[in-house]
Amino acid sequence: MTSTWKLTAHAPKLVVQAALLAHDLVDDWDYELVIAGREEAEDKPDDWVLEGWFPRKPGKVEKAALSGLFDGPAPKITVEELPPEDWVTLSQHYAPPIRAGRFHVHTPDYPADPDLIDFVIPASQAFGTGQHKTTAGCLEMLGHMKASGVIARNVADIGTGTGLLGFAALALWPRALCTLTDIDAVCVGVVEENARLNAVPMGGSAGEAVMIVADGMDDPLLQLRGPYDLLIANILAGPLVSLAPDFAKAVPPGGSLLLAGLLAGEQEAAVKRAMHRAGFRMAARLQRGDWAILWLRRRRVR
């Protein structure tokens, strides 16, 4: 296993959030350079860090790309080589279980909760173990949608990562068709293993999940299996804005759209505007930390 290199920049919360928003708007970003922002510590909510990970030793180009996300003078960027280990897996291995509405999600290190809909999701290279507030918020919103009377017969989870949100939808609507997609091919093996661990059947029939490697909605099988009366997309604000017209084509009037991966504030406002133009209206909203989770419905034709 090769080493990973980490770039780090410390700045106030609003500065880092503005840099994340700028990243969403860069069309030619080198996606080998993966970035994320977070609090430095729970007791310092206004002190944030912008982190980037690169599979090779970063040079002037990678440092300049990270610095260019900041409006004005960029903070100092430090670079360190991480040991040749699966650092994502190690960082999540002992992550505590989470309870999100009707769901309990945990790694194999912890026991199941028989009183809730239980999922075991090992730490992996894919996003969506339930630890991030956006994933947990989507689980909560799915439960709220079910309690509100939503009927989902055909579900798509775009950018599924571990498969968790698609599995959760199948648990709530067990006879639905379920299509899972991700741009990253590594997710195929992750999803298949998680399906096995949670007794989620893989296949093309009702009550089963199909996994597709796809960039957004641009895939013939994904389009063939639509339209989707429940489409889930926990990705990033920039792609959500770009995909709004495609979502409108994939979700029929009265259908539901569950969106996450966007910061409350400017990112949320931009996504809402795009979805409104595409024919969606707000049904409900959750906020978990700095992250907004949106349930929208496609307007019915009168």
The verdict on 71 and 110 lying in the same domain is no
The verdict on 52 and 135 lying in the same domain is no
Nearest to 259 by CA among 156, 105, 179: 156
What does the pLDDT read at residue 127? 54
Confidence of residue 95 (pLDDT cuts 50, 70, 90): low
CATH of the domain at 136: 3.40.50.150
The verdict on 102 and 235 lying in the same domain is yes
Higher pLDDT, 104 or 25: 104
pLDDT surpasses 70 at 261: yes
Within the chain, residue ranges assigned H as helices are 13-24, 60-67, 87-92, 133-147, 164-172, 186-197, 220-225, 237-250, 266-277
**Domain boundary residue, one of 41, 59, 81:** 81
**Domain boundary residue, one of 25, 58, 81:** 81
Of all residues in the chain, the percent with pLDDT exceeding 70 is 90
The verdict on 292 and 232 lying in the same domain is yes
- Helix (H/G/I), strand (E/B), else coil: 142: helix
Q: What DSSP letter does each residue of 278-300 carry, written as one string?
A: TTEEEEEEEEETTEEEEEEEEPP
- Helix (H/G/I), strand (E/B), else coil: 301: coil
Kindly state the average pLDDT of the residues 206-219.
95
Cα–Cα separations (whole angstroms), residue 87 to 4, 92, 123: 8, 9, 10
Lowest mean pLDDT among 74-88, 109-123, 239-253: 74-88
Kindly state the average pLDDT of the residues 186-214.
95
The verdict on 160 and 52 lying in the same domain is no
**Domain boundary residue, one of 22, 49, 81:** 81
Length of the chain: 302
Tens of pLDDT along 238-253? 999 999 999 999 999 9
Q: How far apart are CA 121 and CA 197, in angstroms?
A: 8
Could you tell me which residues are annotated as the binding site for S-adenosyl-L-methionine?
A: 135, 159, 182, 234
What's this model's pTM, rounded to 2 decimal places?
0.72
Report, in angstroms and rounded to the nearest whole number, the Rg of the chain calculated over CA atoms. Answer: 19
57 burial (CB, 10 Å; 0-12 / 13-18 / 19+) is exposed
pLDDT surpasses 70 at 87: no
Segments forming the whole domain that contains residue 121: 88-298
pLDDT surpasses 70 at 89: no
Tens of pLDDT along 22-42? 887 777 788 678 788 888 876
The verdict on 31 and 123 lying in the same domain is no
Confidence of residue 126 (pLDDT cuts 50, 70, 90): very low
Tens of pLDDT along 137-168? 999 999 999 999 999 999 999 999 999 999 99
The verdict on 48 and 124 lying in the same domain is no
Q: How many domains does the chain have?
A: 2
The verdict on 63 and 183 lying in the same domain is no
Could you tell me which residues are annotated as the binding site?
A: 135, 159, 182, 234
Kindly state the average pLDDT of the residues 83-109.
70
